[in-house]
Structure 1
């Protein structure tokens, strides 16, 4: 039986403004989206049809995110993905606010961390996050060339904010990319995400 997942606030017993987040189900089409990146350019999932796409929810202030960026781990995985032709989209979800200020700040942070996303999408108001049921930073998704969601969950197997744990953990995203590109069933198609809560406001 295929493993499926519905990462929703309803499943977690939480709601946003009285309504639950939509489902993002492994094995089903990934929710379509259109957004604007930190450079002010439009970005849509549809423009990457025919490619593998990683979605990574990010918050520079989160200690779990800092674990993977300050150590250089996440930029290394981003480069690994890019070298294999995988598109990496970081998503910064927040309540409505100063788009220009937030975009400038995250652009500076991406540059300082030598990160390599194809784009950082500014998800002000949380439309994209709600469509996927993104709960944590980081929260990771892998979408295949047909637009199907094939992985959802954590970046790795050790849910801590300690950079020392990276060396002894299983990197689920690298594993999912490698197995998908090799045409193999994923060893872990669904894992439990860990990190700071996504800030929907």
Structure 2
């Protein structure tokens, strides 16, 4: 059984400047957007023929019987940069270990054209190459349909879907709502704990938490 492990690497310098950005500007999201609340213990919203940066299309049903992770991302968001910073390469490590556990990691970009975080397929692939990120697929959700179906509010916003199609986790990657790399090692790893519980066939200790980060740019 492969378990996602917590890594303690040297901490990257320079990220502290992101903390000066106001929480209101980064964490708030429009009440007109992402009204759906998908509760753990319910069936995860289906999606079909979603375009990926890899030039393929994927449907949630393609991964029946497998654990699936959904990661909403925006490469320009300081909170996303925190978890992709090298070191500690927190998100990349989680992606790699998920792959070893045969978990399907779907990175989702719901930024609309002309808005922060929107990228072409080629740019998305290059970003992941440059960062050493290894999601199974990167979904380009320009319409925001998938994001709204799941109620994705922030980047990052993490979901875990069990092999039977039931949602096991919806929420933050961890417990410390900051853009500081220094806080990764100090935080309770909510998402990591949820994945480990699903791998072990055990109840998720905290199935829902409030996500933090930049608002999804629908």
| TM-score for both structures, normalised by structure 2 | 0.80
2:146 aligned with 1:92:
no
Counterparts of residues 18-97 of structure 1 (less than 5 Å): 21-34=35-48, 35-71=50-86, 72-96=89-113
Quote the Cα distance in structure 2 between the aligned partners of 1:194 and 1:125: 22
* Deviation of 1:96 (Å): 4.3
Quote the Cα distance in structure 1 between the aligned partners of 2:77 and 2:113: 19
- Name 1:115's counterpart in structure 2: 133
CA gap of 1:101–1:75, structure 2 versus 1, over 3 A, is: closer
Counterparts of residues 119-134 of structure 1 (less than 5 Å): 119-134=137-152
CA gap of 1:130–1:113, structure 2 versus 1, over 3 A, is: same
Describe the superposition over 1:159-182 as per-residue Cα deviations: whole angstroms up to 9, x where unpaired.
110001111112222211111121
SS of the aligned residue for 2:159 comes to strand
Structure possessing the higher relative contact order (Cα contacts under 8 Å, 6 or more residues apart): 2
**Matched positions, count:** 185
Does structure 1 retain, via aligned residues, the 8 Å contact 2:74–2:111? no
Describe the superposition over 1:73-127 as per-residue Cα deviations: whole angstroms up to 9, x where unpaired.
10001111111111100000022469x9621211111100100100000001100
- Name 1:180's counterpart in structure 2: 198
- Structure 1: any 5+ residue segments left out of the alignment? 1-11
* Deviation of 1:185 (Å): 1.3
* Deviation of 1:128 (Å): 0.2
- Structure 2: any 5+ residue segments left out of the alignment? 1-28
